[in-house]
Amino acid sequence: MLHFLKDFLKKYFTTKAEFHRELQKLQKEVHANRLLLGQIKVQQIKDNSLINSIQEAEFQAFSQFGDDGIIQYLIQLLPIPYPIFIEFGVEKYTESNTRFLLLNNNWRGLVIDGDQENISYIQQDEIYWRYDLTAVCSFITAENINDLFVQNGFSGEIGILSIDIDGNDYWVWEKIEAVKPTIVIAEYNSVFGKLPITIPYQADFVRTKAHYSNLFWGTSLGALCHLAEVKGYYFVGTNRAGNNAYFVKKDKLNLDITPQLSPLTLEKGFTDSKFRESRNEQNQLTFLRGQERLKAIQACEVYHVIEKKIFKIKDLL
- CATH of residue 178's domain is 3.40.50.150
Does 299 fall in a domain?
yes
Whole-number pLDDT of residue 22 = 66
Whole-number pLDDT of residue 257 = 87
Distance (Å, whole) CA 301 – CA 197:
10
Does 309 fall in a domain?
yes
The mean predicted confidence, pLDDT, of the chain is 92
Does 225 or 21 have the greater pLDDT score?
225
Distance (Å, whole) CA 230 – CA 251:
14
Q: How confident is the model at residue 163 (pLDDT cuts 50, 70, 90)?
A: very high
Distance (Å, whole) CA 286 – CA 270:
25
- Residue 15: is its pLDDT beyond 90? no
Does 147 fall in a domain?
yes
- Residue 2: is its pLDDT beyond 60? no
**Using CA of residue 227, residue 230, residue 231, residue 236, what is the dihedral sign?**
positive
Of 24-33, 200-209, 304-313, least confident by mean pLDDT is 24-33
Q: How confident is the model at residue 39 (pLDDT cuts 50, 70, 90)?
A: confident
User: Is 194 in a helix, a strand, or coil?
Assistant: coil
The range of the structural domain enclosing residue 118 comes to 79-316
- Residue 256: is its pLDDT beyond 90? no
Q: How confident is the model at residue 105 (pLDDT cuts 50, 70, 90)?
A: very high
* Closest C-alpha to 88, from 113, 66, 109: 113
Whole-number pLDDT of residue 49 = 77
Does 9 or 82 have the greater pLDDT score?
82
Q: How large is the average pLDDT for residues 151-167? A: 97
Q: How large is the average pLDDT for residues 118-142? A: 97
Whole-number pLDDT of residue 7 = 60
Crossing angle, helix 16-47 and helix 67-77, to 10 degrees? 40
- Burial of residue 92 (number of CB atoms within 10 Å: 0-12, 13-18, 19+): middle
Does 68 fall in a domain?
no
Distance (Å, whole) CA 126 – CA 131:
9
Query: Measured between alpha carbons, how far is residue 171 from residues 70, 203, 218, 224, 280 in Å?
Result: 25, 10, 9, 10, 28
Whole-number pLDDT of residue 23 = 61
* Closest C-alpha to 293, from 313, 263, 271, 265: 313
Q: How large is the average pLDDT for residues 213-235? A: 98
Does 57 fall in a domain?
no
For 61-86, write each residue's pLDDT tens digit.
999 999 999 999 999 999 999 999 99
Q: How confident is the model at residue 5 (pLDDT cuts 50, 70, 90)?
A: low
User: Is 168 in a helix, a strand, or coil?
Assistant: coil
Whole-number pLDDT of residue 78 = 96
Please state, for a pLDDT cut of 90, what percent of the chain lies above it: 81
Does 37 fall in a domain?
no
Distance (Å, whole) CA 227 – CA 303:
13
- Residue 107: is its pLDDT beyond 80? yes
Does 23 fall in a domain?
no
Residue 218, sorted as left (phi over 0), alpha (psi -120 to 50) or beta, turns out to be left
**Structural domain count of the chain:** 1
Does 235 fall in a domain?
yes
Whole-number pLDDT of residue 13 = 58
Distance (Å, whole) CA 172 – CA 316:
24
Whole-number pLDDT of residue 34 = 85
Q: How large is the average pLDDT for residues 224-253? A: 98
Q: Which residues contact 189 (CB under 8 A, 6 or more apart)?
A: 215, 217, 218, 219, 220
Distance (Å, whole) CA 316 – CA 7:
49
Q: How large is the average pLDDT for residues 148-157? A: 98
